[in-house]
Amino acid sequence: MTGVGWPLVDLASRLLDRDEREAVVGDLLEANETTWQALLNVFGLVLRRQALLWKQLSPWLAAFGVALPSSYLLTYVSLSVSCTYQRLVYHRFAPCWPTGHEGFLLLLCHIILLIAWSWAGGFVVGAVSRRTLWVSAAFCVFPCVFCLAAFPFEFLPKLCPFLFLLPAILGVRHRLRNPRISLNSAFLLAVTTTALMIFAWSNDALWILNWALIWPVWYLVATARKSGQEGNTEPWRMDHPTYTRMSQR
């Protein structure tokens, strides 16, 4: 393998897991493959690995069940929040249905909801399918780009449709670094979000489809409870039922 091509192969092999990268790159060096052959081999393996992941349900659920519909809805929520902000602060009127009558209180409510929905959506995408995150990320950006291309916004900055991305990225990051969320935190988030949605709905400031964004929030509660129950089944814990039964004998 030539010195020029080696960094390329090394870079491509980073798409593989650590142990597999070690074995594959070592095999390629030992076989003295050309750069082109080595790249083909590495990309072939990466493609096969990705294809195998898509044989399961979770990547489809993450991409088409959460990322795409959530980002579509959240793009419009981002625009709606931006329009309301422009109207209230700069007195510029942009045609953004269903907003148009909200005051600062409802604007604050929308901002909190936008952050909560996005964060929970990101967390769920990270939880459901960590290894196909790049596809889910592409599905998240697609509605924003479509929105920018389809509708010209005279008064709004170009970054407005992307407002939800930062909390969503933080949600994914939190899931990757700390897989568990405490039941209390999840429950507080879910109850607060639901209460704010009811408040916005009762003030005619919520699109009916936005109710679909509530399920990732309650999914957090369900999984937090599940992980709490699993914690009790850890065999090394001294309060595990096995030890209790043994001590009773």
Partner 1 sequence: MTHKRDVRDLPGRAKRERLDPMSNYYYNVFLIMLGEFEYLLITAAAGLGENAYGAAIREEIEATTDRRCSMGALYTTIDRLEAKGLLKTWMGEATPQRGGRAKRMVRVTSKGVHAAKEFYDAVMRVSHGASWAGHRAGNSS
- Residues binding partner 1 (CB under 8 A): 19-20, 22-31, 40-42, 44-45, 47-49, 52
Supply the minimum distance, in Å, between the C-beta of residue 21 and partner 1: 9
Supply the minimum distance, in Å, between the C-beta of residue 161 and partner 1: 38
For partner 1, give the closer residue by CB, 95 or 235: 235
Supply the minimum distance, in Å, between the C-beta of residue 236 and partner 1: 22
Structure tokens belonging to residue 217:
């929030």
For partner 1, give the closer residue by CB, 9 or 115: 9
For partner 1, give the closer residue by CB, 20 or 240: 20
Cβ neighbors of 23 (< 8 A, separation 6 or more) are: none
Query: Considering only CA atoms, which of 31, 17, 126 is closest in space to residue 70?
Result: 126
For partner 1, give the closer residue by CB, 29 or 57: 29
DSSP of 15-65, one letter per residue? TS-HHHHHHHHHHHHHHT--HHHHHHHHHHHHHHHHHHHTTSHHHHIIIII
Rounded to whole angstroms, how far apart are CA atoms 108 and 91?
A: 17
Contact 163, 156 (CB under 8 A): no
Supply the minimum distance, in Å, between the C-beta of residue 25 and partner 1: 6
